Structure 1
Amino acid sequence: MEKRRIAILGSTGSIGTQALEVIKEHRELFEVELLVCRSSWEAMARQAREFDANAVVITDTSHYLDLRNALEDTGTKVFAGMDSVCSLVTGDNIDIVIASMVGFSGLEPTIAAIKAGKVIALANKETLVAAGRIVMDLASRMNVPILPVDSEHSAIFQCLMCARGNKVSKLHLTASGGPFRTWDRESIAKATKDIALKHPNWDMGAKITIDSATMMNKGFEVIEAKWLFDMPVDRINVVVHPESIIHSMVEFEDGAVIAQMAEPDMREPIQFALCFPERLPLSTRKLDFAKVGSLSFSEPDPERFPALGLAFKAMERGGNIPCALNAANEAAVAAYINGRISFYGISDVVGECMERTSYISDPSLEDIFATNDEAYSLSCRLIDEMERR
């Protein structure tokens, strides 16, 4: 495998730090060219030193001087702002862009990288939730591979490698069920953020952990799977699998189901995307089936987890409504983490925002950005109203 030059958008987050762990195991195969974070300048400065990054960008410009001073004795070039990110990802010195920035902010640099013909290792669900048709059409025109990093979509991608042209009947996305899998609705309604942030299987950032607790994360994954694999939403199934050993499954017309299995460790799908189509050794814990013992499955409960149904509803309406879903969820999750609304207030805000956002059946990229602003502002007003009640 030839050496691959990497840009990591969101290097200090969960995916970014684990991507650097993968790169550390195979330093002879990867070169870190660009690191990007929002505000964690101290952590990114340490990463830049360890991996001798060519350039770094901090999108929160108020920390630019801190970062520049921390790296002034190195050869690393320091930039600030989203315009710098969008410019630098197009450079000839980059082969693969790991798109792992949180939320809608990941859309613009991902589009810039696609236009420049970069391979995209996609970990930012919101990019396809908000603008799936636009992104996939652009990637097709530019002949740019989009390699999934989410464990569920990586699993489907790996299973589809066995399809050999045979028609797929259904995709089965597995869900851990999150911290409230066995709780009743009344107890969930009172759940504090501290409990919601304790995911039973995965180590993730705060926003995606809350999305897992509401199951909005799984709804996003359904939308993402539709676009990545060109699959109608009515042929995408969600099944709760608390052990998180089977990461997803592909069902064929004859009833055969192929599953991808591994310990819950994001380094495996990250490395698969970075090394595709090769598989390399990785120091993860390997499956011991005798210790696993048994695997269990159940249907998700729409009464206890209404966010999942909202995602399906958004895709049924189509147009710009999935973008509104995402924007409202970003605002509502932030409000929940800050103690402003209840757990079910998240889905209440999202549902109301979806109903009240101006509908556009075939949105342009400009429409998507306008919808994001409209829905986010509307959600903030709804949250303010909830607080005053």
Structure 2
Amino acid sequence: MGDDERLSLLKLSLVEGLGPIRVRALLERFGSARGVLTASRDALRSVPGIGPKVAKAIVHHDSEERAQSLLARMSKLGIRMLIEGDREFPDPLAQLPDCPGLMTIRGTIEPADRFAVAIVGSRRATAYGRRMAETLARELASRGLTIVSGLARGIDGVAHRAALDVGGRTIAVLASGLANIYPPEHVELAQAIIERGALLSEAPIDGAPIGQLFPQRNRIISGLSLAIVVVEAAARSGALSTARHALDQNREVLAVPGRVGDPMSEGPNLLLKQGAGLVMGVQDVLDALGPVDLANEQTTATSAVVEAPPGLNGNETKLWESLGQEGMELELLLERTELRASEASVSLLMLEMRGLVRRFAGNRYARVIG
């Protein structure tokens, strides 16, 4: 993406009343941010979700000077734009219907960060909750998984610190802007995360952590992750909002059980009652993720030379032979087999029913041998 288009996208982000879904609809209709900014009011209003007030705001945008000033300040603070299509942009987020087309970032996103687990929970964590979050984050990070959370007090902060303590990577997704770290007592933690991961935000760089931004932030936390683990949460909490997003995004939802009657255990216990995966230790999380060679940061491994089971049709044989025991994402599997998604889905289902293939978090599949 050229500098002019990046600047135009930044200008578009400064228009009041535009969220990620509306921005995506506009970009699909006009082809570019510059195209959106130069469109007529009538053309803008033809896009679903764009009313007269927003159309007028786009037509009369006066954000050139603001955008240039903002870019200069971002550069001084070490904040970069992260735009869908950038090499560093996380692939899992790009698949979301409400993909955050423009975020800001401090730190780096690495290929290994696609192997991520979110650990979320209450700001008013108990000693038990802190201990479980710390244990899970330390053991997962030491195995090469990136820990994702929201930099909040309580469980979030414990998870980030535990990952850093073992030299692991961690990503914090903020509801506030990256020039306005919240909570303020986590400024030093945020700096440590920058050095071993990344801070991400969809909010303006000076944005305050207002309530409506937290649910939006939560979809990014779950979207970055293969699975989310809810450690402690009240029955109505942000952690459960993240769990709902995870379900919508086809991510694994896991929960640590708590004491019956404890308000901080109501959330995870409710999730468990509804079918979430039970987490009593790190192996439960690893089992839910499926077989991936995390230590070597590999998404796939060379398939073992094993003869296909008898009785498979052509598509089933092609899929089985392309899969290894370590797991492969559906998108890559389709690319390797050159099958249509509809064909592959039917054949994979038949293979699952025969116990020859198993499906894991993140829409990955692996052979079952023996």
The answer, yes or no, to whether TM exceeds 0.5 is no
Which fold has the larger relative contact order, with Cα–Cα distance below 8 Å and residues 6 or more apart in sequence? 1
- When the two structures are superposed, what TM-score results if normalisation uses the length of structure 1? 0.27
Structure with bigger gyration radius: 2
- When the two structures are superposed, what TM-score results if normalisation uses the length of structure 2? 0.28
